[in-house]
Amino acid sequence: MTRRTKTFLLFFLAFAVAFISRPPAVFPNDEEMNIRIYEEAGSSVVNIITTTISYDFFYNPVSATGSGSGVIIDRRGHIVTNYHVIEGARSLEVTLFDGSRHSAEVVGVDAGDDLAVIAVKAPQSKLKPIRLGDSSALRVGQKALAIGSPFGLEKTLTVGIVSSLGRTMRARNGRLMSGIIQTDAAINPGNSGGPLLDSQGRMIGLNTAIFSPVNGSIGIGFAIPADTVKKAVPSLIEKGYVSRPWLGIAGQTIDAFDAAAMGLPSGGVLVADVFRRSPADNAGIRGSTGTMRIGNIIIASGGDLITGVNGKPVSSMDELNNAIDRMRPGDTVSVSVLRGNKTVVIKVELEEMPRNY
């Protein structure tokens, strides 16, 4: 063996020993946390494929598919997602973390909070419920992680922070959703229904929407608070819908300008109509008796002007709805109304909102 060959062998052996004995990769603490959360919470996140039927110009049925995300909430197979993910779906297919596919059925929907619960029949060993966090204790600047299936790409993780709290958003049925979480963790179409997680891997929100002029993430995403989800899910599973209190009026917001034009001392909610046999009707709240024009707008007139609920002022229909939403069916509220030139306080016993309302 030549000296040159010996030198080469010694160099090769030294390199091999150094490579084999090299310690495993060490990740910074932040990366370790991301990996741990993804591996733990990712098994609770599912991909949902929906099939809808539409009709072409000649009334021929045309099927179309869509995708979204969902979160396993118990070992009975219940999965929470967004209402808009499964809206109008003729069939649902869920893909679990191990790649197995299962047909799913709708258990309950709540268009008012953009929530839905669906269910699959799968072995309990494959059903790993997410850990639910407390969204009421969130602070702006906290770490936030989103897991979902953007554009159908399953098991995707994005990382950001809680950008803002207490945002409002319109639901599909026009109801104003409050307490919405804003995050800059990338959320794209297909992320809807997936979890927004804190640094402990607990779900603090359900990703629901983005603000974007390009139909993709620009760092402004929104999530329904986990506390809203926890409040709605039991009713969705038990009844198929969320029981909400109902006042039973149609109203118009009257601002200071409109109030002055109508000769009213303040703004509030003008009762345009009172639904028959509703709580408001039973309590004697009066609807409008006519209309009047202010500029290019037609406004109801002659009805009660609601100015407060339980001693707290309300100046818009959204504020009135929020005040009523804090109550429960069967509760009695004090509604302050301006009738003519006199303020009257009317006691109203709220009822459960009708399903078709």
- Please give the positions annotated as active site: 84, 114, 192
Q: Using CA atoms, how far apart are residues 261 and 90, in angstroms rounded to an integer?
A: 51
Residue of 200, 197, 177 whose CA lies nearest to 187: 197
Distance from C-alpha of 322 to C-alpha of 214, rounded to nearest angstrom: 32
For residue 341 the two structure tokens come to 């030139």
* Angle ∠(342,267,327) on CA atoms, nearest 5: 85
Is 85 exposed, middle or buried, given 0-12, 13-18 or 19+ CB atoms closer than 10 A? Answer: buried
Contact call for residues 93 and 103 (beta carbons, < 8 A): yes
